[in-house]
């Protein structure tokens, strides 16, 4: 197998949208085919400075504890939907695209599988695109899955 096809570590950033289980299922299919480790990652979007116009004032530390706990529960619930899958889970705080790229680099991910909402026009300009930034900045290949209308089906 060539190095290009070697996928040992797959990073799966999730935002807990209704389509997140479908993205995880897709990533797990790739992981099973390649014998790869899989990490679910959720990034709590918080200001990167004392005042960040994108988020408002700095986050209250008590609120951050609640957000961290909620995100950990959310990842545990999501992982529970895939019994038997060995899913590493991680929660970070900061700018979502920056933290995803940083984690991909630090963990030496071979692939990032991320959902995209497919926003266009003004919604894209004002809301930005985490997936687009990850594609541009990530040190490894990024597989994007369009979430609009994407649903998981169980047999």
Q: Look at domain 3-146 and name its CATH class.
A: alpha beta
Nearest to 91 by CA among 14, 17, 7, 35: 14
| C-alpha distances out from residue 150 to 21, 22, 134, 144, Å | 10, 7, 20, 12
Identify any residues that bridge with 91 across adjacent strands, giving them in sequence order.
Answer: 42
Q: For residue range 101-128, what is the model confidence (pLDDT) as tens digits?
A: 999 999 999 999 999 875 555 544 444 5
Taking the C-alpha atoms of residue 77 and residue 150, their distance in angstroms, rounded to an integer, is 20
Helices (H), 9-149: 20-34, 61-80, 96-106, 121-127, 130-137
The domain spans of the chain are 3-146
Q: For residue range 54-102, what is the model confidence (pLDDT) as tens digits?
A: 555 555 678 888 999 999 999 999 999 999 999 999 999 999 999 999 9
């Amino acid at each position: 197998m060539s190095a290009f096809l070697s996928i040992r570590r797959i990073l799966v950033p999730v935002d807990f949208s209704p389509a997140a289980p479908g993205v995880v299922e897709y990533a797990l299919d790739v992981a099973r085919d390649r014998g790869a480790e899989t990490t679910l990652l959720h990034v709590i979007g918080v200001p990167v400075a004392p005042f960040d116009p994108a988020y408002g004032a700095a986050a209250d530390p008590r609120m951050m504890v609640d957000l961290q706990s909620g995100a950990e529960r959310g990842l545990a619930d999501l992982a529970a939907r895939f019994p038997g899958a060995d899913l590493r889970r991680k929660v970070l705080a900061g700018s979502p695209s920056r933290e995803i790229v940083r984690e991909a680099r630090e963990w030496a991910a071979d692939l990032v599988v991320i959902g995209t909402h497919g926003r266009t026009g003004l919604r894209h300009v004002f809301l930005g695109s985490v997936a687009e930034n990850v594609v541009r900045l990530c040190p490894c290949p990024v597989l994007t899955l369009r979430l609009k209308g994407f649903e998981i089906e169980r047999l």
